Chains A and B, each alone.
Chain A
C-alpha cells in the first residue's frame, strides 16, 4: 500500500517535471517567435508602407512607428518573462495574449490581407504546444474582444457594413472556438499521454530501486561469505601446518633415530679406545647414516618443491619433447615407457620446468607400481582444453586411498615422502587446471591432468 502511494507520488513528480520542461521549451520557442514577428512586422511596414504622403511631401508612415513601438511592446514582455520566469503560468498566459495581439497587428500592417487572418488559427495551434488548454482561454478572449470592440466602434473595418447585427462578432469567434475545441481535446490527450509515461517511469524506477536493494543485500552476503571462507581457509591452513609439522616430524624421526643409534655405537667404540678397524659394524653404520641423511634431504627437498610458489613462466612447451626429457630424468628401472604424445600436437604455453616436474612425478609413481608398461599421452589444442594422461597397467590404487593421494605426506609406499602427487596437484592448480585419477584394482591407474585452453599455441615445428 505504501509502495503504491510512493509510485503515485513519484508519477506526479515526474509529470510535473515533464510539464515544466515542456513549458520552458515552448516559452523559449515563443520568445524566438516574438523576436521573429517583431522583425517581420518592421520588415513589412518598411517594405509596403514606409511613407505617408501629403502632395509631394512624405513623412514616415504611422505603420513603421506602430511596428517598432507597439510591436516592440507586444513582444517585449513575453521575451522578458521567457527569460526571467520560464515555465511559470503567467509567462504562457502573457505569451498567449501577445501572440493573438500580433495576429491583429499583422493584419493591420498587411492591409487586411485575407491570408494574414490565418495567423490567428496558426497561433492557436502553436499555443497548443503547451498542452495546457487554459492558455487558449486568454488567446480566445483577445480575438473575441478585438472583434467585439471593433464592432462597437468601427464596424465597417470588420464587417464592411455600418450596422451589423449584435451577434456578428460571434460568427467570427465561432471558428476560433471550433478550433479551440479540437485543440483542447488534443491538449487533454497529450496530458493523459504524459501521465501514462510518468506512471510507467515511476513503476520502472520503483522496480529498479527494489533490485538495487536486493543487489546490496546480495553484495553484503557475498562479503560476509568471503570473510567466512577466508577465516575457514586460515583455520584449515593452521590445521594443515600442524598436520604437516606432525607428519614431517614423524617422517624425519625414524631416519634420525637410526642415525642417532649408529652415531651412539660409533662414539662408544671410539671412547673404548679399542682397535676399531676390524669392526665391520662401523662401516655398516656409516653407510646407514649416509642413507638416512639422504632420506631426510629428499623429504626436505620435496617439501620445498611443494611449498614454493614462484610465478608461472609461460613459454611454448612441446609436450612430446618434454615427456622425453622427463623419462630421461627417471632412475634406472625395468618398465616400458611409451611416449604416445603426437609429435605434431599443437604447442601450449606452459611453465616448462613445472610441467616437467609433473611428468617426472607421475611417470615415476607409475613405474614404482611395477606395471608392464606406462603410457604417456596428450590431446587438445585450439578451443579445447589440454589433457595430459599417464596410465599404467599396475595393481591399481585401493579405493579408500584414492581420496587422499593428493594430500601432502600421504603415501601407500614403504619408501616415499608422500609429496610427489601433492606437488603435481599444486602445480596443476597454479595453471588453472585440475587432476583426477581413474583406477581399478588389478587393472591399472590413469592420471588425467586437464589444463585450460588459451595461451599462445604454436605448432610443433614453430616451437622448435
Chain B
C-alpha cells in the first residue's frame, strides 16, 4: 500500500516535470520567434518627412507605443547611446489610423525622450514605417553620414528580453570601427500596423 503510494507520487512528479519542461520549451520558442524582417531601403529615402543630420550617422527605430516588448528595445537603445555624441537617434512611434489623439503618448514615449541623444517622433498612420519597410516594433536601422544603410535588425536577444545581443553589438562595432557583420538580426516585437491598415497606407 505504501509502496503504491510512493510510486503514484513519483509518476505524478515525472508527469509534472515533463509538463513544466514542455511549457518552458514553448515559452522559449515564443520568446525566440522573431517578427517579419524589414525591407529597408539601402539609401535614406528623400521623400521621408524625417530629416537626417547630414554628415552624422543616423539611427532610426520604429516602435509601437504600447508594445511591452519594446521596453527592452528602448533599454538596449539607452545602453547603445550611453556616452555617445556622434550619433543622431530617432524613435518613430507608429499611430495607426483611427486611434484617439495622444494615443502614442505614454510610458514608452517618455522613456525614449529621457534617453540622451534620442528624439521621439510621431509616425502618423505608420507612413514612415511603410516607407522604410518596417513591420515590427523594435526594428532599428543605421544609416551612415552619407545616408547609406549600414544595418537593419533588432537590438534584443529575444522577445522583450534585455541583455547582450547581436544587433546592438554590431551597431556599436560599426559606429566604433566601421567594420562589422552587416547581416541583420531578428526583430522581436508587436506588429506596427494591422495588415488591412498597412494595405490602405500603401
Residues of A in contact with B (beta carbons under 8 Å apart):
48-58, 61-63, 66, 69-70, 73-74, 76-77, 81, 85, 88, 90, 93-94, 97-98, 101, 104-105, 108, 111-114, 146, 149-150, 153-154, 156-162
A66 and chain B: residue at smallest CB distance: B27
Pairwise interchain contact B9-A73, C-beta atoms closer than 8 A? no
Question: A53-B64, A55-B96, A154-B158 given as contacts; is B27 within 8 A of A160 (CB)?
Answer: no
17 A-B residue pairs with Cβ-Cβ distance under 8 Å, sorted by A, are A50-B68, A53-B137, A54-B191, A56-B103, A58-B66, A90-B10, A108-B31, A111-B160, A111-B162, A112-B161, A112-B163, A156-B158, A157-B157, A159-B164, A160-B165, A161-B164, A162-B166
**CB-defined contacts of A58 to chain B, threshold 8 Å:** 66
Pairwise interchain contact B68-A61, C-beta atoms closer than 8 A? yes
Pairwise interchain contact B19-A73, C-beta atoms closer than 8 A? yes
Pairwise interchain contact A55-B161, C-beta atoms closer than 8 A? no
Pairwise interchain contact A70-B27, C-beta atoms closer than 8 A? yes
Give the Cβ gap from A188 to chain B, nearest Cβ, in Å.
26
Give Cα A158 to B165, complex, Å: 9
Give the Cβ gap from A57 to chain B, nearest Cβ, in Å.
6
Give Cα A54 to B20, complex, Å: 29
Asked whether B197 is an interface residue with its Cβ less than 8 Å from the other chain, the reply is yes
Asked whether B71 is an interface residue with its Cβ less than 8 Å from the other chain, the reply is yes
Pairwise interchain contact A112-B162, C-beta atoms closer than 8 A? yes
**CB-defined contacts of B126 to chain A, threshold 8 Å:** 55
A54 and chain B: residue at smallest CB distance: B191
Give Cα A108 to B160, complex, Å: 8
Pairwise interchain contact B67-A53, C-beta atoms closer than 8 A? yes
Question: A73-B20, A156-B157 given as contacts; is B71 within 8 A of A111 (CB)?
Answer: yes
Give the Cβ gap from B29 to chain A, nearest Cβ, in Å.
8
Give the Cβ gap from B24 to chain A, nearest Cβ, in Å.
6
Contact residues, B71-118 vs A (CB, 8 A): 71-72, 94, 96, 98-99, 103
Give Cα A62 to B27, complex, Å: 9
Asked whether B32 is an interface residue with its Cβ less than 8 Å from the other chain, the reply is yes
Give Cα A52 to B71, complex, Å: 13
Asked whether B43 is an interface residue with its Cβ less than 8 Å from the other chain, the reply is no
Give the Cβ gap from B190 to chain A, nearest Cβ, in Å.
4
Give Cα A149 to B25, complex, Å: 9
Give the Cβ gap from A159 to chain B, nearest Cβ, in Å.
7
A157 and chain B: residue at smallest CB distance: B158
Give the Cβ gap from B11 to chain A, nearest Cβ, in Å.
11
Residues of B in contact with A (beta carbons under 8 Å apart):
6, 9-10, 12-13, 16-17, 19-20, 23-25, 27-28, 30-32, 64, 66-69, 71-72, 94, 96, 98-99, 103, 126, 137, 157-158, 160-166, 169, 190-194, 197-198
**CB-defined contacts of A160 to chain B, threshold 8 Å:** 157, 163-166, 169
A156 and chain B: residue at smallest CB distance: B157
Q: For the complex, would chain B's binding face be called helix, strand, loop or mixed by DSSP majority?
A: mixed
Give the Cβ gap from B97 to chain A, nearest Cβ, in Å.
8
**CB-defined contacts of B157 to chain A, threshold 8 Å:** 112, 156-158, 160
Question: A55-B192, A70-B24, A160-B164 given as contacts; is B72 within 8 A of A77 (CB)?
Answer: no
Give Cα A149 to B144, complex, Å: 38
Question: A53-B67, A156-B158 given as contacts; is B72 within 8 A of A112 (CB)?
Answer: yes
A150 and chain B: residue at smallest CB distance: B28
Pairwise interchain contact A55-B169, C-beta atoms closer than 8 A? no
Pairwise interchain contact A56-B31, C-beta atoms closer than 8 A? no
Give the Cβ gap from A48 to chain B, nearest Cβ, in Å.
6
Give Cα A53 to B27, complex, Å: 18
**CB-defined contacts of A101 to chain B, threshold 8 Å:** 20, 24
Known: A70-B23, A112-B72, A154-B28. 17 other contacts (CB 8 A): A49-B69, A51-B66, A54-B191, A56-B96, A56-B197, A94-B13, A97-B20, A101-B20, A101-B24, A105-B24, A111-B68, A111-B71, A112-B160, A156-B157, A157-B157, A157-B161, A159-B164
Pairwise interchain contact A51-B27, C-beta atoms closer than 8 A? no
**CB-defined contacts of B13 to chain A, threshold 8 Å:** 77, 81, 90, 93-94
Listed residue (A54, A62, A90) with the most chain B CB atoms within 10 angstroms of its CB? A54
Give Cα A50 to B192, complex, Å: 17
Pairwise interchain contact A81-B166, C-beta atoms closer than 8 A? no
Pairwise interchain contact A49-B160, C-beta atoms closer than 8 A? yes
**CB-defined contacts of B158 to chain A, threshold 8 Å:** 112, 154, 156-157
Pairwise interchain contact B161-A74, C-beta atoms closer than 8 A? no
Give Cα A101 to B10, complex, Å: 18
B198 and chain A: residue at smallest CB distance: A55
**CB-defined contacts of A97 to chain B, threshold 8 Å:** 17, 20
Give the Cβ gap from A373 to chain B, nearest Cβ, in Å.
97
A61 and chain B: residue at smallest CB distance: B68
**CB-defined contacts of B24 to chain A, threshold 8 Å:** 70, 101, 104-105, 146
Question: A55-B96, A70-B20, A73-B20 given as contacts; is B68 within 8 A of A49 (CB)?
Answer: yes
Pairwise interchain contact A153-B28, C-beta atoms closer than 8 A? yes
Give the Cβ gap from B175 to chain A, nearest Cβ, in Å.
18
**CB-defined contacts of B98 to chain A, threshold 8 Å:** 56
Give the Cβ gap from B23 to chain A, nearest Cβ, in Å.
4
Give the Cβ gap from A149 to chain B, nearest Cβ, in Å.
8
Pairwise interchain contact B32-A53, C-beta atoms closer than 8 A? no
Give the Cβ gap from A108 to chain B, nearest Cβ, in Å.
6
Give Cα A154 to B161, complex, Å: 13
Give the Cβ gap from A86 to chain B, nearest Cβ, in Å.
12
Pairwise interchain contact B164-A54, C-beta atoms closer than 8 A? no
Give Cα A161 to B170, complex, Å: 11
Give Cα A88 to B7, complex, Å: 13
Give Cα A157 to B198, complex, Å: 30
A47 and chain B: residue at smallest CB distance: B68
Give the Cβ gap from B22 to chain A, nearest Cβ, in Å.
10
Give Cα A146 to B160, complex, Å: 18
**CB-defined contacts of A66 to chain B, threshold 8 Å:** 23, 27
Give Cα A76 to B98, complex, Å: 44
Across the A-B interface, the 3 shortest Cβ-Cβ residue pairs: A160-B164, A55-B194, A49-B68
Give Cα A104 to B24, complex, Å: 9
Give Cα A104 to B162, complex, Å: 14
